[in-house]
Homo-oligomer: A and B are copies of this chain.
Amino acid sequence: MELYDGLPVAVTGGLGFIGSNLALRLAGLGASVTLIDGAIPGCGANPFNLAPIAGQYELIQASLDQPHLYEAALAHARVVFNLAGEISHVQSMRDPERDLHLNTLGQLRFLTTLARVNPGARVVYAGTRQVCGRPRYLPVDEDHPIEPADFNGIHKRAAEHYHLLLSRDGLLDAVVLRLTNVYGPRLAIGVPGQGFLSAFIARALDAHPLEVFGDGLQLRDPVYVDDVVEVFLRMGIRQVLPARLFHLGGPAALSLLDIALILAEAAALPHEVTLRPFPAEHLRFDIGSYTTDARRLQEALDWNPQIEFAEGIRRTLDYFRLHRAHYLATPAPRPAVLA
C-alpha cells in the first residue's frame, strides 16, 4: 500500500458510505485525494463522513453528468475509484428514469470523459450482485447468468459493460467489483432504500424491535466496509489483472434471522426478533438467498475478508452511537427506566 503515498487518486461518490471510508484510508496512506460527488438527494452523500480528514482532500461538487467540472481533475488521477450511483432497488422501481440517468448516463459520460483525458486509466468500479437476479445456484460466481431483478440491476449492468468495453479497446483499464450487502461506519442509515442492514441498524439504534421479511431463512453474506476498502485499494494498484470482474462477499453466510439476532444482541435490544410477510413492493425484486463465490478474488489477492459479522456490527453500532445525530433525524430514544 506504500504505492499510494503521494499518488493522485480520484473517488466518485466520495461523500457516500463506501467512498468516504475509502477516502479516509487513502488519506491515511498519504494519497493526494480528489473526491467527486454531486450530493444527489437519496444517494447517501454525507459531508460528516469526511470529518476525520478535514483539509486533507479536494472536493469537486459535481455529479457524473457534469464532466466539465471534473475532467481536469481526472486527467491527473493515477487511480480512479468509481463509486458514485444510486443503490436503491425500490427507488429504481418507482422512478426508473432517474436510476437510468444516475447509474447509466452518468457513468457513460464519466467513463468516456476519463478515457479521453486519461486514456488507459485504472478504474475500480463498485458493481452490484443485483445484476445476477434470483440465484440459479449458490454460491454465485462470475459466470452466473445475468437476470437483473430490478431496474437498478439493469442500469448497473449497462455500466459494467461500459467499463469492460472501454477496457477491451484499451481506453480504460477497469476492474468491476460486484458487491453484496456492505455495512459499517458511515452507512447511510437515515436514507430510505439503502438495504435491510441499513434499516436494521437504524431501528437497533432507536431500540425498536427488528422485523425480518419472510421466513428469515434467506441467506446473505454481509461484508464489513473495511474489507471492501481493502479490496478496492489492492485492485487499484495491482499491475497485472487476472480478470476484470470479481464477486466480493463477506466471510460467512448467515440467515436474515441470524443477522437480526446478532444485531439485536450487539445492540442489547430488549425485544424478540419477529417475522412478517414480505411487503408486495419488496417481494417484486426479492432475490431469495444469495451467497458469494469469491474464489476468483481470493485467488487474485491471496486474501479473504477479515471481519466477522458480530465484530463488524459491534464496531458499526459504536460508531453510530457516537455520531448518531449526523445520520438520523429522529431523536435518540430515552433510556428505559431501570426497574
Return the CB mask of A102-124 against B: 1 if under 8 Å, else 0: 00110011001000000000000
A308 within 8 A of B: no
A158 within 8 A of B: yes
Residue of B nearest to A109 (CB): B97
A150 within 8 A of B: yes
A148 within 8 A of B: yes
Is A158 within 8 A of B165, CB to CB?
A: no
Is A112 within 8 A of B96, CB to CB?
A: yes
Q: Once the chains are docked, how many angstroms separate the CA of A150 from the CA of B97?
A: 22
Q: Report chain B residues within 8 Å CB of A97.
A: 105, 108-109
In the complex where A100-B104, A100-B108, A104-B104 touch, is A284 in contact with B169 (Cβ < 8 A)?
yes
Q: Report chain B residues within 8 Å CB of A165.
A: 148-151, 154
Is B169 within 8 A of A158, CB to CB?
A: no
Q: Report chain B residues within 8 Å CB of A327.
A: none
Interface size on A, residues (CB 8 A): 24
Q: Once the chains are docked, how many angstroms separate the CA of A165 from the CA of B155?
A: 12
A79-104: which have CB < 8 Å to B?
96-97, 100, 104
A164 within 8 A of B: yes
Closest Cβ of chain B: how far from A163's Cβ, in Å?
Answer: 11
Q: Once the chains are docked, how many angstroms separate the CA of A108 from the CA of B147?
A: 17
Q: Once the chains are docked, how many angstroms separate the CA of A169 from the CA of B149?
A: 10
Return the CB mask of A142-165 against B: 1 if under 8 Å, else 0: 000011111100110110011011
Is B164 within 8 A of A147, CB to CB?
A: yes
Closest Cβ of chain B: how far from A279's Cβ, in Å?
Answer: 15
Residue of B nearest to A97 (CB): B108
Q: Once the chains are docked, how many angstroms separate the CA of A104 from the CA of B159?
A: 13
Is A161 within 8 A of B150, CB to CB?
A: no
Taken together, the copies of this chain in the complex come to 2
Query: Which of the residues B104, B112, B149 comes within 8 Å of A158, measured between beta carbons?
Result: B104
Q: Once the chains are docked, how many angstroms separate the CA of A308 from the CA of B151?
A: 41
Q: Once the chains are docked, how many angstroms separate the CA of A130 from the CA of B284?
A: 30
Residue of B nearest to A160 (CB): B154
Residue of B nearest to A155 (CB): B158
Q: Once the chains are docked, how many angstroms separate the CA of A40 from the CA of B200?
A: 49
Is B150 within 8 A of A157, CB to CB?
A: no
Residue of B nearest to A147 (CB): B164
Closest Cβ of chain B: how far from A324's Cβ, in Å?
Answer: 38
Q: Once the chains are docked, how many angstroms separate the CA of A154 from the CA of B168?
A: 14
Q: Report chain B residues within 8 Å CB of A105.
A: 97, 100, 105
Q: Once the chains are docked, how many angstroms separate the CA of A151 from the CA of B147?
A: 19
Q: Once the chains are docked, how many angstroms separate the CA of A164 from the CA of B148?
A: 9
Return the CB mask of A35-56 against B: 1 if under 8 Å, else 0: 0000000000000000000000
Can you report 5 A-B residue pairs in the complex whose CB atoms are below 8 A from each other? A96-B112, A100-B108, A146-B146, A154-B158, A155-B158
Given A100-B108, A104-B104, A149-B165; 14 other pairs, CB 8 A cutoff: A97-B105, A97-B108, A97-B109, A100-B104, A100-B105, A104-B158, A105-B105, A148-B161, A151-B162, A154-B162, A154-B165, A157-B157, A158-B158, A169-B284
Shortest Cβ-Cβ A-B pairs, 10 listed: A154-B161, A158-B158, A154-B158, A148-B161, A96-B108, A169-B284, A100-B108, A100-B105, A146-B146, A97-B108
